Amino acid sequence: DDGYNGTQASMACTVIDASGIPSGDTLVSATVTTQLTHTWLGDLTAKLMSPDGSVLTLFSRPGFTEPADDGTGCCGDSSNLAAANPLTFDDSATNDPELMGATLTSAQVVCLDDGFCDYFTNPGAAATPPASFADLAGEAASGNWTLCVGDSGGGDTGEIPGWSITLVHEGAAVTEPPRLVPASSRWSLVLLGGLILAWVGFGLRKH
């Protein structure tokens, strides 16, 4: 939608509530899996906001070396993202998101057509630290984790059908059985011995 200007207000955002984690627990490590649908992925910037307010850029306009994190300039990679082919961001991954879609055409989909589905984080021109999930270690694990996606190009639309975050945290030992929640709540929370898996299943459209 050509609306991204580097601010959170110019992005489409959705929240996972991890308040089920004990408030004194701190983060050890994290991974994020995104289910995004968008044409021309090089328009996109994706950021993760922690409960403590840190902002980790997962990727920033793949295929385009932007002079600043402000949405200006053109153009990134022309391949596409599809929710049916989720991408996972993990410090242990070996693929650079700056090269996402580099071998694909504008008719092809990342992960589906190139087999590259796991990436480390690359903030590009965005402010650091944090530059990786490791930089968030020691922060509060409990609270709201927010995924925001900004679009720097006109003529393409997309949505966030879902995303997930896996948080490994430490503190007092906690062991609980899985919690059952109504389907209408659109998310579930499982807390087992310090590992939390949180899933969100609603859509958020950004034009």
Which residues have C-beta within 8 Å of that of residue 94, sequence separation ≥ 6?
118, 120
- pLDDT attached to residue 2: 67
Q: What is the mean pLDDT of residues 116-134?
A: 96
Q: Could you tell me the pTM of the whole model?
A: 0.83
- pLDDT over 70 (residue 202): no
Write down the domain spans for the chain: 8-206
Q: What is the mean pLDDT of residues 12-36?
A: 94
Query: Does residue 75 have a cis peptide bond before it, meaning omega lies within 30 degrees of 0?
Result: yes
CB-CB contact of 46 with 4 (8 Å): no
- pLDDT over 50 (residue 206): no
Enumerate the H helices of 84-123 as residue ranges.
none
Q: What is the mean pLDDT of residues 58-63?
A: 96
Token pair, residue 51, equals 């409960």
